Amino acid sequence: MWARALYAMKTSVNICGIEFKNPLIAASGTFGFGREYADFYDVNIWGGICTKGLTYEKRLGNPVPRIAETPMGMLNSVGLQNPGFEGFVEHEMPYLKTLDTVVIANIAGSTIEDYCRLAEALNAHDIDMVELNISCPNVKEGGLAFGVRPASIKNVVSSVRKHCKKPLIVKLSPNVSDIAENAKVAEDNGADAISLINTVGGMAVDIYTRQPILARSIGGLSGPAIKPIALKMVWQVYNSVKIPIIGMGGISSAKDILEFMMCGASLVQVGTYNFTDPYAPVTLLDGLTKLMTDCKILDINTIIGDLKAR
């Protein structure tokens, strides 16, 4: 049903010279490396797939418990568990190369040198874009996240830009005082696109043990609870930068997709909803084409940033 409907209208979006067949990207950290969902449906249905966060060296992640449910989402403190660059190239890249969808490598690090080393190493491999996760703690600056201060954003983005030959997406944290300023700094220092928002800091408590539920006490909140925050920040950034925006944060319906795009997102990432509905892109794309028909939208590109002032 969704395939026939998609044929009747334009849902493809081009950013940074790369064509996405539709605006849906599987968000980093919620989709593994693609094969994890392949038993449920053809993962080529996605416009793009953003890999689990990669570090150069293999990481085992944080101790458990590291996931906690909330009334409108979930908290996670997974800690970037991943196979490292060599494991990624050996075990994940062969599968990703078979896919007919845009592949985005999400990268992370503890130092600027970590980011640069990984970005440069990925140049030789068949990925389409790199997404720079700057919500990671900078060990050289007392553990403060790279993406909190404009000066730190400038340093990491400008440094990675010199080593990265792929289109570079900078993923911003919402846990800041001025998201628009941070986005502008990323743009001025070489970002080709902005993605936002990453998770919002949060906590869950077990009243019977009188302890935090997560082993590391605090984690990142995602899901429908953060959608209003994400919409606001996408809109603020859209009015501050000229480069494309990829919006995310609580998307679980076709209506959500249109809201993000009207606020200025060219594409959207779907994260926590993959856990709620393992057929998430099938459900969302079917709903999107129906809603586009209802709203008389023939080309999804025409609604990007088309939020009317009150």
Say what percent of the chain tops pLDDT 70: 96
Which H or E element spans position 236?
helix 227-238
**Looking only at Cα atoms, what is the longest distance across the chain?**
56
- Name 195's bridge partners: 171, 246
**310 domain-assigned:** no
**309 domain-assigned:** no
Give the pLDDT confidence score for residue 143 in this predicted structure.
65
**266 domain-assigned:** yes
The better pLDDT of the pair 44, 147 is held by 44
pTM tops 0.85: yes
**9 domain-assigned:** yes
Active site residue 136: yes
**308 domain-assigned:** no
Q: Give tens-digit pLDDT for 147-185.
A: 999 999 999 999 999 999 999 999 999 999 999 999 999
Could you tell me the CATH number of the domain that includes residue 218? Answer: 3.20.20.70
Q: Give tens-digit pLDDT for 261-302.
A: 999 999 999 999 999 999 999 999 999 999 999 999 999 999
Q: Which domain holds residue 274?
A: 2-303
**Burial zone of 101 (CB within 10 Å; 0-12 exposed, 13-18 middle, 19+ buried):** buried
Q: Active-site residue among 116, 136, 164, 263?
A: 136
Give the pLDDT confidence score for residue 221 in this predicted structure.
96
**76 domain-assigned:** yes
**232 domain-assigned:** yes
Q: How many domains would you assign to the chain?
A: 1
**231 domain-assigned:** yes
